[in-house]
Amino acid sequence: KTNNPKQPIMKKYYLFAFCLLLTGSLFAQNSNDLKLSVNKGSIKMATEDGQFSFGMGGRVYMDAASYFDDKTDLGSGTEIRDIRLLMKADLWKKWNAKINIGFADGSVSLKDVWLMYKINKNSFVRAGHFLEPFGIEQTESSKTTKFMHAASTVEAFRPGRNLGISYATWGKQVFWEAGLFGSDTNNKTAGDEGYGLTSRFAFAPVQNESGIFHVGMSGIYRTADAAGFNELGEENPKSIRYRSRAATHIEKRRFIDAKVGNADHQTKIGFEMIAATGAVSLQTEYINANVSRNIGEDYTANGWYTQLAWLVKGGNYKYKMKSARLAKPGPGSVELLARYNQTDLNDSGAMIMGGKQKDITIGGTWYVNHNILVKFHFTNVDLDENALNGEENFNMIQTRLQFSF
């Protein structure tokens, strides 16, 4: 046997091959197997070939507000501002699906519910219920907006989520999305729904270590929803409404509110700007809304906000071209914030005085980890004589504990 020293070596090779086979068979997983892991604090299930990926999770915002009243007696208290269940899936490599349902206030509200087809790495077509592409804050998840509440200007003029179809594409410096949308999915009024054409274009020539600069523009054309029929079977006059809460949600009254009767359609234009240098960023949006009326003068309203943010801890601001906005600061970050916002729903020409609101907020956010954040805001609200209860000025302190996974 010692004459053939190859034999033991051969055997070793067999053994070696066998071991490889055994262990290899574990690596060579069935392409249908999903690998389960935690990704930034959330569940991720994915096949290794990139064909399938699933995720599921939830989100909760718990708010408290204390109001220092002027004229109107505001209701201080607590609420679960939002609570959601989420399922999402990447299917057959090219398709994405998302189901996100909200359960705040003890009722069901559909959030992102859509099916997306990825044309290539930089463009997609999407059908379903999602945020119309208009401006920065309107298109951003409340999970990442810097303030607890959208600017009143955005709340008043935003198209929100509607059932529709859109196309989006982005390059190294530009982003463009355009879509066609139906109306409120829960609309139960007799008659045809209105529809809207919406588009957003953004250009970000500077995105580097030293700074970020982004400008953009959005536009909407939307027809008014039917308002039912009168006894003669004729269409009732249609209306379009703009209104907003006072940068808060626990007190639910809308202090500015313009209901424009005899409406045919509305057009809105929005301008946006983001500038950042290091740990300081500035974001501004201006929105102008115009309602074409069948009877009476056209109605015009507008508003704007500007917000300053400073990452006291957490490095520099980053930019995401895919969504054309600032990225969420990393875990552990601490951010200081200030915002000035004014919204003017008065149009003396159209004889519709919806009120004018100016508000200033200063506050901060602690991004505890990927899952948890805490917000704290002080806000002063100033209303003119056309507001709900006339001229008044009040203050509030608000705080949010948010978790998601």
Which residues in 234-351 belong to E strands, given as ranges? 240-245, 254-260, 263-277, 280-293, 299-313, 319-320, 325-326, 334-347
CA distance 135 to 153: 11
Q: Considering CB under 8 A, how many residues would be counted as binding a second copy?
A: 89
Q: Around Cβ 375, how many Cβ atoms within 10 Å?
A: 21
Q: In whole angstroms, how close is the CB of 187 to a second copy at the nearest point?
A: 7
Residues numbered 364 to 383 that lie near a second copy (CB under 8 A) are: 369, 371-372
Name which position in 28, 50, 68, 80 contacts a second copy (CB under 8 A).
80
Determine, following the binding rule CB under 8 A, whether residue 16 of this chain makes contact with a second copy. Answer: yes
Q: Are strands 392-404 and 212-223 parallel, antiparallel or unpaired?
A: unpaired
Determine, following the binding rule CB under 8 A, whether residue 330 of this chain makes contact with a second copy. Answer: no
Q: In whole angstroms, how close is the CB of 339 to a second copy at the nearest point?
A: 26
Q: Are strands 299-313 and 319-320 parallel, antiparallel or unpaired?
A: unpaired
Determine, following the binding rule CB under 8 A, whether residue 18 of this chain makes contact with a second copy. Answer: yes
Determine, following the binding rule CB under 8 A, whether residue 390 of this chain makes contact with a second copy. Answer: no
Residue 194 or 355 having the CB closest to a second copy: 194
Q: Around Cβ 351, how many Cβ atoms within 10 Å?
A: 9
CA distance 27 to 270: 52
Determine, following the binding rule CB under 8 A, whether residue 236 of this chain makes contact with a second copy. Answer: no
Determine, following the binding rule CB under 8 A, whether residue 306 of this chain makes contact with a second copy. Answer: no
Q: Which range binds a second copy by CB under 8 A, 7-15, 142-150, 214-222, 289-297?
A: 7-15
**Between the CA of residue 140 and those of 30, 105, 252, 278, 304, what are the distances in Å?**
38, 22, 22, 22, 17
Q: In whole angstroms, how close is the CB of 24 to a second copy at the nearest point?
A: 8
Residues numbered 168 to 227 that lie near a second copy (CB under 8 A) are: 182-183, 185-193, 226
Q: Is residue 214 packed enough to be buried (19+ CB in 10 Å), middle (13-18) or exposed (0-12)? A: buried
Q: Which range binds a second copy by CB under 8 A, 40-48, 284-292, 346-354, 379-387?
A: 40-48
